[in-house]
Amino acid sequence: MRLEGLELRRIAMPLVAPFRTSFGTERERDVLLVRAVGADAEGWGECVAMGAPLYSSEHVDGAAEVIRRFLAPALAAAAAGGLAEGVDAWTAEAAFAPFKGHPMAKAAVETAVLDAVLRAAGMPLGGFLGAVRDRVPAGVSVGIMDSVPALLDAVAGYLDAGYLRIKLKIEPGWDVDPVRAVRERFGDAVLLQVDANTAYTLGDARQLARLDPFDLLLIEQPLAEDDVRGHAALARLIRTPICLDESIVSARAAADAIALGACSIVNIKPGRVGGYLEARRVHDVCAANGVAVWAGGMLETGLGRAANVTLAALPGFTLPGDTSASDRYYARDITPPFVLAGGHVAVPQGPGIGVSPVPDVLAEVTTATSWIPLK
């Protein structure tokens, strides 16, 4: 693909309800979108960095600056380096490799380039990645609530809507009691898991073991992201399977964690690992080692959700992911909405990521745009 330039677009997306985790509460998403413009097609990528460096070291202002100062010039240099056919996702990945960190910024640009190339070729992202399903089972993530009754009401609503798996955010002081209440109210048949977002230490092992009687699918990232050895020790002290999220920053990190016995399940977030090329490598490493994977989410708009739903259609994704319908987070999405049907969400079948923004809606939520020429 011969690229003409990148458009960086900031949009403001209010959430339908505040979403609280152990690291903070979000009420509105400040989203950075990347549009890669070529002579034959254009593609979209969504940066999943938050407004502040709470989930990870990245934040949306920093991601935009990294793209402007480093990634876009590197992509332009690669395109000018004698490549008659232009650039593709592998070119972008190689061009970005010298820059340490910033996987969410890299993923946004790489995805935009990949989307443009696939649209020009008329190929769906699912065909490129190796998807084997045309719909995927949908789970939902439930934030920390002000009270247990409020939590039970929220879970009841999601189960009535048809979600096949419930994930509860937890933190010290909000763990055993809410999990017990959900189990007592809705029974053992509900697929239930918890997510700590690094809120505990190995010294909390006895408290975390109190979750064992509730037959959870998994406990996600209980300890700090750099404490892989601690997760391995915790796995020997509790029965609930450990899933790693923040710790898995690459296929190599996944292989190391598996070898150390730090996890038996992996959450794959393309933004966290630098893009869909590396996300597929993480999937392949886990599949080769018999480790189940599922697709995580970062409150994406329809652009990011489309690509994540497609990723979740790969064969190794054997657990429902955070691939919820658009109305879980947004009253109005910037793309045609993803809709829950029979507990599943359909995989887009069009070229590239298979969806595009609705122009009028996109214009309404846009707060800033900038253009970076690449030639």
Catalytic residues: 169, 269
How far apart CA 272 and CA 48 sit, in angstroms, is 8
DSSP class of 305: H
> What is the amino acid identity at position 148?
V
Phi-psi label, residue 162: left if phi above 0, alpha if psi -120 to 50, beta otherwise: left
Inter-residue contact 96 to 112 (CB < 8 Å): no
Question: Tokens 């020997």, residue?
Answer: 236
Does the CA dihedral 187-239-24-162 come out positive or negative?
Answer: negative
Count of residues making up the chain: 375
27-36 burial code (b ≥16 CB/10 A, e <16): eebbbbbbbb
Residues 6+ apart with CB under 8 A from 17: none
Inter-residue contact 215 to 194 (CB < 8 Å): no
Inter-residue contact 170 to 22 (CB < 8 Å): yes
Q: Coil, strand or helix: which one is 13? A: strand
Residue 69: CB atoms within 10 A of its CB come to 11
272 closest CA partner among 74, 113, 94, 58: 58
Backbone angles phi, psi at 235, to 5 degrees: -60, -25
User: In the structure, how many helices (H) and strands (E) does the chain have?
Assistant: 14, 13
